[in-house]
Amino acid sequence: MADEYNTLFLIKGRKALALEPGTTLSLLAYTEAARGITLTGFEYPLDDAGLDHLEPGLGVSNVTVGPRQVVEVKEGLLLADVVREEF
């Protein structure tokens, strides 16, 4: 789903991305919980972390630091929000 400000999509398993460096990406647990989250290519990497649906803080407003990123989740679904900041 996309509009002029955001692109939203679900992640299950492993997803390779090619976002430009400096792009803001937020991840929220779409299911009650998401476990085993690993992020590479981000300012704030994660290694086997967890997110709960009602406590989104850890996955909000991360920033890409290289031309390639990987998001991996072992249990549950993540809602990804890529923010376009050129308003």
* pLDDT of the residue at 85: 73
State pTM to two decimals.
0.90
* pLDDT of the residue at 35: 97
Tens-binned pLDDT, residue by residue, of the chain (87 aa): 888 899 999 999 999 999 999 999 999 999 999 999 999 999 999 999 999 988 867 889 999 998 999 999 999 999 999 998 765
Q: Is 85 exposed, middle or buried (0-12, 13-18, 19+ CB in 10 A)?
A: exposed
What DSSP state is assigned to residue 58?
A: G
CA distances from 58 to 1, 13, 55 (A): 23, 19, 8
| Residue ranges of domains in the chain, CATH in brackets | 6-83 (3.40.50.10240)
* pLDDT of the residue at 54: 84
